[in-house]
Amino acid sequence: MSILQYNGGCVVAMTGKNCVAIATDLRFGTQFSLIQKQFERVFQVGPKLFVGLPGLTTDTQTVLQRLKFRIKMYEMREGRRVQPKVLMAMIQNLLYERRFGPYFVSPIIAGLDENDKPYICCFDLIGCSTDPEDFVTAGTCEESLYGLCETLWRKDLEPDDLFEVISQSLLNAVDRDAISGMGAVVHIIGLWSDSYIAIFNFCVGIL
């Protein structure tokens, strides 16, 4: 078993019409034993920006701390908030610095950019990134998530439909994975009118 599968867990993000969603399961364990079932691995790092860090939990926490530090440094130096693409470059640099002794995380970014356009992005553990237009998945049930997302996802989903699609994708995927599950959290970041951005956080599944 790979070290990436030691603690279990997964994250998925999707785009919709003027909105994005990012969701994670809540299990934290060591191999097949459970430690905690309220463990979130998706974090808000900007007013309309989230990052998910599935993988080895110790690296999830380290990468989060180092990322927060770099974000704060950026914001102080530049006097503006980080945009999704900036965060993408930041994570690439952070991970590639450890090219030959990597952090065992596969991060995912979801957010609205400076023009409030949906942006999602995923990485491998050494910082190779891709930002597709539909969905990104990472974690121990990545394959199952792909199977579901490929079938359920449609272009230009409205926020409530997007919520349903991402929830069903995640819940059914984690149900076939022994080391993910214990309920899930879904974040929807949506542009409701020209200026009004709202973020909704939902808990779904069996807790």
Partner 1 sequence: MALSLEHTEEYMRDPRKHQFSPYADNGGTSIAIAGDDFVMLASDTRLSQGYNVLSRNHSKCFKLTSQTLLSSTGCLADVLTLTKILEARLTNYAHEHLETMSTTAIAQLLSTLLYWRRFFPYYVSNILVGFDEDGKGVVYHYDPVGHMEKMTYCASGASVTLIQPLLDNLVGGKNMKDGRTTPITQDFAKRLIHDGFVSAAEREIATGDGCTIYTITKDDVTEETFKLRKD
Q: Is 139 left (phi over 0), alpha (psi -120 to 50) or beta?
A: left
140 lines the binding site for partner 1 (CB under 8 A): no
**Interface with partner 1 includes 14 (CB under 8 A)?**
no
Q: Can residue 160 be called a binding residue for partner 1 (CB under 8 A)?
A: no
The CA distance from 135 to 137, in Å, is: 7
CA distance 116 to 130: 19
Q: Which stretch binds partner 1 (CB under 8 A): 34-42, 49-57, 97-105, 137-145?
A: 137-145
Out of 143, 156, 158, 160, the only residue in the binding site for partner 1 (CB under 8 A) is 143
Minimum distance, C-beta of residue 112 to partner 1, in the bound complex (Å): 27
The answer to whether residue 202 forms part of the interface with partner 1 (CB under 8 A) is no
Stretch that binds partner 1, among 7-15, 46-54, 109-117, 172-180 (CB under 8 A): 172-180
| Residue of 146, 183, 197, 200 that binds partner 1 (CB under 8 A) | 146
The minimum distance between CB 168 and partner 1, in angstroms, equals 6
Buried b (16+ CB within 10 A) or exposed e, 108-120: bbbbbeeebebbb
144 part of the interface to partner 1, by CB under 8 A: yes
Among residues 30 and 168, whose Cβ is nearest to partner 1?
168
User: Considering the rule CB under 8 A, would residue 147 count as an interface residue with partner 1?
Assistant: yes
Decide: is 171 part of the binding site for partner 1 (CB under 8 A): yes
Q: Is the Cβ of residue 11 or residue 87 nearer to partner 1 in the bound state?
A: 11
CB of 173 to partner 1, least distance (A): 5
Q: Which of 102, 124, 175, 197 lies at the binding interface for partner 1 (CB under 8 A)?
A: 175
Footprint of partner 1 on this chain (CB under 8 A)?
Answer: 141, 143-144, 146-148, 150-151, 167-168, 171-173, 175-176, 205
